[in-house]
Structure 1
Amino acid sequence: MTQDFWLKNVRTEIGFHQNEAYVDRTDTKMIHLHIKDGVFSEMIEDATLIPKNSQQIDGGGQLLTPALVEKHCHLDKSKLGVPWEPIMPAKNIVERFESEIVALNQLALPLKQRAKNLLNLEVQHGVTFFRSHIDIHPKVGLSYLEQVMDTLNDYDKKIGYELVAFPQHGLLRTHSQQLMKDALRNGATFVGGVDPATVDDDLEGSLMTTFDLATEFNAPIDIHLHNRDDAGRETIRRIIQLTEASQLEGKVFMSHAFGLNDFQGEERQEVFTALARQNIGIVSSVPLTPNTMPPLMELKSYGVKVHLGCDNIYDSWSPYGTGNLSDKLARFGEMSGLTSQTQLTQALGLVTNHQTALDEQGNISWPKVGDDATFLLTTASCSAEFVARQIPVTLSYHKGNQIL
């Protein structure tokens, strides 16, 4: 369907206001945007120039911000919509994921409805784009992937998504190489992985297979890394080396990456610099356990692209999770001591794929003519207030399609 309408009377941020001591507010102005074929095709300040016979949506003076991007969720795992039950104890990660398949498959509510519940929950809080990891395992084949894709099709392309073929039970351990290929031929767009040194017990073989799959299918990688100390450091170093050797710069992500805490001194500088040079992204779910979350702000200072995601939401791994990405962002901001107007404005980029209305110097960086018409409206006075006070989202669009 051809999109052609005007979004009028919305405020956009135009710069920081500096008093004698500090930035005390963000200045805004009222604009009107012509949205056509999924992009901002015109931006004007004079509402009288809007054609009288055009379709118009009145933003009511609300703030326009980039839409939220969920970089880490599991649409196949959530138990949203089923009666409360505590998580089953597990002695280790292997016992946890072995019991998970049985637990999920016996739920009264089918995967498709549980996935839809999670999508709707996150959409309600402003997410318009999802990256979801989908279990690929001999006991489930491609069934989880197929059901998630079927769920997403119900949204008629109104939301964006990336699907990670995720061999959580071990790529080599479960002999899932062929299944991974099948998944990548049938809808998955990323190659996943998890703790190759301990789950597969073969760091080199597991990583080589992962990168071979990425090369064969020209697919990005998003690998979960929980290992610490020697195993964690060795895994991270080898991923950096293979990223360069495979010419996958900008196409590799490390989720969790707890081992980044264990680099010290010159080695720390070397590794963080290499991550930035290879444009390897770090995705964190903002764990509260001390000395677990990677040093995201330090990594950011090296030029590493860091992102936040919700991860577990009421599943076999955790009874917690709100499905509110803004909640994760506010938690991170509080833990990291982000309190100034400029810091909070930039923090929004952690959940928008680094898109912010203003850059660090306060120059306008979004929206611009030609940008995708993917945005939120909120009653917040500025991005900083939206981040710190978690002001609700009232309207959201993805490439010109209304979602919320």
Structure 2
Amino acid sequence: MGEWIRNVRMETGFETEGDFVYGSRTESFDIQVENGKVIEIQSAGKRDGFNAYGNLLLPSLQEMHCHLDKSKLGVPWQPITPANSIVERFTQEIKELDQLDLSLQERARNLIDLELANGVTFFRSHIDVHPKVGQRYLEEVQDVLHHFKGKLDYELVAFPQHGMLRSDAYGEVKQALEAGVNLIGGVDPSSLDGDVEKSLSQTFELATAFQVPIDIHVHDRGEHGRETVKTLLDYTKQSGWQGKVAISHAFGLNDFVGEERAEVFTELAKTGISVVSSVPITGVIPPLEELRSYGVQVRIGCDNVYDSWSPFGTGKVTEKLNRYAEMFRLTKHDTLTNALELITGQPLLYEEGLPWLKEGMDASFILVDSSSTAEFVARQNDVMASFFKGKLVYQKEGV
């Protein structure tokens, strides 16, 4: 027999008056879980089990872009050192990280623990693999993640931070993929590698050989950025890699105009190329809501959480979503509710007054102190407890 999680609230639809959505309908339920799955959902009753005390149940959160090998969490405050270019930054980063008093494993564990407490049970992390560091960052992160087995899911991206071509990283990236890494990455094949075609050719060659998706950093603006996006579209279609490519950051999408803008955004949707953003406030954030209107999948990640690149970052992906909603003026109750999918990958579909959670789904969800999803997104209310495949993996102290 499975175990019960009782007295949870779930939304079953919107409260409306004409065209105005003024709230969410909620009902109380008990959920039975077994072997990591939801096997029964019943109206709340007098059952034994974990008492949710009427907290709202929502899908588990996903961290779609982080760098577990780079965080400085746990070491005393240090401002970032000056750097005049991305090359100068990543060149001095290795020495900075190696000189810290805490090991990579301890720092990575600190970041995972922090995000677990904020409701995350899925991580996509880019890990540096290139001749300057070899496989050592990857091996240490894999060792850390082994200790979190049963508490979370993850994907690791073989990331040639110093440039696939610039650092001659092909061999190291291939070795990482042979070791079971889930995705292949890249960074600025135009401005950093200096040869979009050759850089992406090597990336897609490895992706198709190892049957892994691609998640590539593209910070480039102007012609560099536009050329990279158009070449990515071409290679995706030529390789049959539709639905298997993501562009992280994608600042250059701002620079398409007129008919070309509409054509490129339409093609991104058709080829299933997604965009992953850390929602920067520097003025170069891509037109993410416009992209969503074309059907492009958009996801959010924290990216930097106190590292050599930025002194900022709290490890709360909800903070990034909150910033997104404010920047794109998602002030309506229903648009705030629908925005949660950006950090869960799970749309909240209500059918005939039924909750989004269905029998047969993974029993991975969070309990939050909120009256509705919209309030959770807008107010960043606390995560009270987090479950991963039926297992309680976090509970707020005192709850």
1:175 Cα deviation from its structure 2 partner: 1.2
State the distance in 2 between where 1:28 and 1:313 align.
Answer: 35
1:398 Cα deviation from its structure 2 partner: 1.6
Unaligned segments of structure 2, at least 5 residues: 395-399
Q: Does 1:306 align with 2:304?
A: no
State the distance in 2 between where 1:115 and 1:362 align.
Answer: 44
User: Secondary structure of 2:186's match?
Assistant: strand
**1:96 corresponds to:** 89
1:77 Cα deviation from its structure 2 partner: 0.2
1:62-141, aligned counterparts within 5 Å?
A: 62-141=55-134
**2:38 corresponds to:** 40
State the distance in 2 between where 1:121 and 1:402 align.
Answer: 16
State the distance in 2 between where 1:86 and 1:357 align.
Answer: 41
State the distance in 1 between where 2:238 and 2:182 align.
Answer: 21
State the distance in 1 between where 2:40 and 2:364 align.
Answer: 15
Q: Structure 1, residues 181-225: CA drift from partner, whole Å, max 9, x if none?
A: 110111311000000011111110000000011000000000000
Q: Does 1:351 align with 2:343?
A: yes
Q: Does structure 2 conserve the Cα–Cα contact (< 8 Å) formed by 1:11 and 1:62? A: yes
Q: Does structure 2 conserve the Cα–Cα contact (< 8 Å) formed by 1:16 and 1:362? A: no
Which one of 177, 180, 183 corresponds to residue 187 of structure 1?
Answer: 180
1:373-392, aligned counterparts within 5 Å?
A: 373-392=363-382
Unaligned segments of structure 1, at least 5 residues: none
Q: Structure 1, residues 305-329: CA drift from partner, whole Å, max 9, x if none?
A: 0011100011000011111111111
State the distance in 1 between where 2:177 and 2:31 align.
Answer: 38
TM normalised by structure 1 equals: 0.95
Q: Which amino acid aligns with 1:30?
A: S
1:181-260, aligned counterparts within 5 Å?
A: 181-260=174-253
Q: Which amino acid aligns with 1:396?
A: S
**1:295 corresponds to:** 287
1:48-67, aligned counterparts within 5 Å?
A: 56-67=49-60
Aligned positions, number: 394
Q: Which amino acid aligns with 1:101?
A: I
In the TM superposition, structure 1's runs of 4+ consecutive aligned residues that sit over 4 Å from their partners are 361-365
Q: Which amino acid aligns with 1:350?
A: L
Q: Does structure 2 conserve the Cα–Cα contact (< 8 Å) formed by 1:356 and 1:365? A: no
Q: Does structure 1 conserve the Cα–Cα contact (< 8 Å) formed by 2:341 and 2:348? A: no
1:324-363, aligned counterparts within 5 Å?
A: 324-353=316-345, 355-358=346-349
1:4 Cα deviation from its structure 2 partner: 2.8
State the distance in 2 between where 1:216 and 1:267 align.
Answer: 32
User: Secondary structure of 2:174's match?
Assistant: helix
Distance 1:286 1:363, change over 3 A: farther
Q: Does structure 2 conserve the Cα–Cα contact (< 8 Å) formed by 1:283 and 1:308? A: yes
My pick for the range that moved more, 39-48 or 253-262, is: 39-48
1:369 Cα deviation from its structure 2 partner: 1.0
State the distance in 2 between where 1:225 and 1:46 align.
Answer: 48
User: Secondary structure of 1:261's match?
Assistant: helix
**2:314 corresponds to:** 322
Which one of 380, 395, 398 corresponds to residue 388 of structure 2?
Answer: 398
**2:356 corresponds to:** 366
State the distance in 1 between where 2:293 and 2:369 align.
Answer: 31
User: Secondary structure of 2:29's match?
Assistant: strand
State the distance in 1 between where 2:296 and 2:91 align.
Answer: 34
State the distance in 1 between where 2:22 and 2:278 align.
Answer: 30
Q: Structure 1, residues 241-289: CA drift from partner, whole Å, max 9, x if none?
A: 1111111111100000000000111101100110110111100001101
Q: Which amino acid aligns with 1:294?
A: P
CA RMSD of aligned residues (A): 1.5
1:44 Cα deviation from its structure 2 partner: 1.2
Distance 1:364 1:350, change over 3 A: farther
Sequence identity percentage = 52
User: Secondary structure of 1:47's match?
Assistant: coil
State the distance in 2 between where 1:98 and 1:362 align.
Answer: 57
User: Secondary structure of 2:53's match?
Assistant: strand
State the distance in 2 between where 1:295 and 1:44 align.
Answer: 42
Q: Does structure 1 conserve the Cα–Cα contact (< 8 Å) formed by 2:28 and 2:54? A: yes
Distance 1:158 1:372, change over 3 A: same
Q: Does structure 2 conserve the Cα–Cα contact (< 8 Å) formed by 1:252 and 1:280? A: yes
